Amino acid sequence: MDDEKTISAAMLKACEEARRWIGATSPNPPVGAAGLASGGGIIATAAHRRAGEAHAERALIEKCRASGQLGILHTLCVTLSPCNHHGLTPPCCDIIIESGIQRVVIGTMDPNPKAAAGAIERLRGAGIEVITGVEEEKCRQLIYAFAYSIETGRPWITVKRAFDENGSMIPPPGAKTFTSDSSLLLAHRLRKRADAILTGSGTILADNPDFTVRLVPDYPGKKRFLAVLDRRRRVPAAWLEAARARGLEPAIYDSPQEAIGALAALGTREILVEAGPLVSGAMLKQNLWNLSVTIRKGEQDSVETAFNPRAGIPFDTRGWKLENSLPA
């Protein structure tokens, strides 16, 4: 068997599995795993799906056990290094060692020092071969928000804007949008991955937006924070109550900085800014952003992306593609 190619292919499968759950696992990172038999074939894939539920490694091992394939599980490929501490779940190193796995292949190391501490040494001490850095950039890009939050203490902030042919962000009278179906789908996929939405009172009063995920299936049970910038307290209490009924958790703030600090304290990993030109422009001018996604209406809408060079992006942006950071 071509070991290097086989391992790389398995890691890419693990990445695909993790990508399906971007935004579902917060405050944990999305993680995928793939299991190989000794002959090199992939026998199972799994992912961490929600904080408090099984991590990807445990989910894969239990899946193999349930199907009667645990005895042939030779190599575990996982996008993020296994945890070696007790959190909401037991250490993944425990079940890996107990399962009889002979080799663990790691995409990238967990930026959380508490989770990563001693994991590789413990696995190797148990006689398990450990390989690191396989498809590392792709694995690193999966955890963009988690890694940034761990390394800086601040949420990742994506500013999404849409412009019509005349350069305006304001929809025509009676409409809430002017973009194509594909652009609307992109907006909802961005919303699906976010833990919080930041908007302004003007957007709410003008458009009466729902801020729910509609064009793609949302993660069951996921609640999102809704930060409303409203110094003059213009947003009606009835609108906030209706937002709660839609599954959002709204709160009023006087400034972007206040909102970001409060959301960070709540464990938010990613904020999506969906607002009008004043709020969006202020976020960009004040460098309160990591990623800008700009949709421009045309015969075929175009999508432009940019990273804030001052933000300290935790991965190599040269090989980055927006599609690879979006859930289905």
Rounded to two decimals, what is the model's pTM? 0.93
Continuous H helices in the chain: 3-19, 56-66, 92-99, 113-116, 119-125, 136-142, 144-152, 181-193, 201-207, 237-245, 256-265, 277-285
**pLDDT tens by residue, 99-134:** 999 999 999 999 987 766 788 999 999 999 999 999
pLDDT computed for residue 319 by the predictor: 87
What Cα–Cα distance (Å) separates residue 216 from each residue in 101, 146, 184, 185, 186? 37, 23, 10, 7, 10
**Identity (one letter) of the amino acid at 231?**
R
DSSP single-letter state for residue 71: G
Residues designated as active site: 57
| List of domains in the chain | 3-142 (3.40.140.10), 150-325 (3.40.430.10)
Distance in angstroms between the alpha carbons of the first and the last residue of the chain: 33
The model's pLDDT over 53-104, given as tens digits with 9 standing for 90+, comes to 999 999 999 999 999 999 999 999 999 999 986 666 788 999 999 999 999 9
Q: pLDDT tens for the chain, 328 residues: list them.
A: 458 899 999 999 999 999 999 999 999 999 999 999 988 899 999 999 999 999 999 999 999 999 999 999 999 999 999 998 666 678 899 999 999 999 999 999 999 877 667 889 999 999 999 999 999 999 999 999 999 999 999 999 999 999 988 888 887 776 677 788 999 999 999 999 999 999 999 999 999 999 999 999 999 999 999 999 999 999 999 999 999 999 999 999 999 999 999 999 999 999 999 999 999 999 999 999 999 999 999 889 999 999 999 998 999 998 899 999 999 8
